[in-house]
Amino acid sequence: MRRGFRRRKPVWVNPLLMALLALALIKWLFFGPDISADKAVDEFYQYEQEGNFSQSWEMFHPYMKEKFSKGHYLQDRAHVFFNHFGVETFEYMLGEPEKVENWQPADEGPELEVVYKVPVTQVYEGKYGNFILIQDVYAVKDEEEWLILWDYNR
């Protein structure tokens, strides 16, 4: 008696499926949105650490660019941290990114569907002693690039 006819899968199907699953896992682990947001915040603070405020300003979301012009930002950032506090550079550490939905940078700011909050700790050594600045920084994907926002909510 002949049992039901079973069609065999080609031998290459299982390895192909395994390879696709492995690629998806690698992409999720190393290139997920939280990792990309973390990299954007890290890049922003690398520019800040180097005193390259022009490049860091370019990474701001348009809402942030409305708050201060590029020239004003370049002048203020260098003046406050390097001149007033007498620091030459700073160290920073990033916390774990956290997904936040329907967030606004301020009451009058745009509502953003999904952002990633990254806690940033900056450590300064200056002429007035050592001090630490802790700030939540937000990264949002705008088309193909990640942009930076600060929180102005009370």
**48-106, pLDDT tens digit by residue?**
988 899 999 999 999 999 999 999 999 998 888 778 778 877 899 999 999 999 999 99
CATH number at residue 137: 3.10.450.100
| Angle, helices 13-31/33-50, rounded to nearest 10 degrees | 40
Question: Which pTM was predicted?
Answer: 0.77
Q: Which amino acid is at 73?
A: Y
pLDDT at residue 123 in the model? 92
Query: How many domains is the chain built from?
Result: 1
- For residue 151, the 8-state DSSP code is -
In a domain, 8, yes or no: no
pLDDT at residue 125 in the model? 87
In a domain, 142, yes or no: yes
* Measured distance CA(135)–CA(56) in Å, rounded: 16
Query: Over 90: is that where the pLDDT of 11 sits?
Result: no
In a domain, 5, yes or no: no
Burial class (CB in 10 A: 0-12, 13-18, 19+), 37: buried
In a domain, 120, yes or no: yes
Residue-range definition of the domain harbouring residue 120 = 13-150
Q: Model confidence at 19, in pLDDT bands (50, 70, 90)?
A: low
